[in-house]
Structure 1
């Protein structure tokens, strides 16, 4: 299904660009630092770096943000599913 893949890539690329996966948050412009703080992918990258590379990480915060983001995603998807199924 090309349309679903295109939509997924459009969302993922914006999240990836706005995270700390490529550059440290300290070198980002102020507006992108603000985006990075609310981006769940930044917390996932932070947790993975901490677990895999041993860099300093804030694992409780990272896991908490990821759990809240997952819960919000599940809630929004389940509410939209009722509308789409009609």
Structure 2
């Protein structure tokens, strides 16, 4: 792996699951992903997931705030 600063999938899962339970099934490690998809695809995917993990709390908070607590209003539903 060229970029050892990238997190393992289990680290990303733990970070993203802090507030809301996520079920990603059996989590592979980076080396398993590299074996299946190659170094470049693995690095790009983990980098994008790491970026998403950094902004997720703000994005989720903004989305929930925009719903104004009325999850079942048809004007607030996400299709």
Q: TM-score range by the shorter chain?
A: 0.3 to 0.5
Higher RCO, 1 or 2 (CA under 8 Å, sep at least 6)?
A: 2
**Which structure is larger by alpha-carbon Rg, 1 or 2?**
2
- TM-score under structure 1 normalisation? 0.34
- TM-score under structure 2 normalisation? 0.36
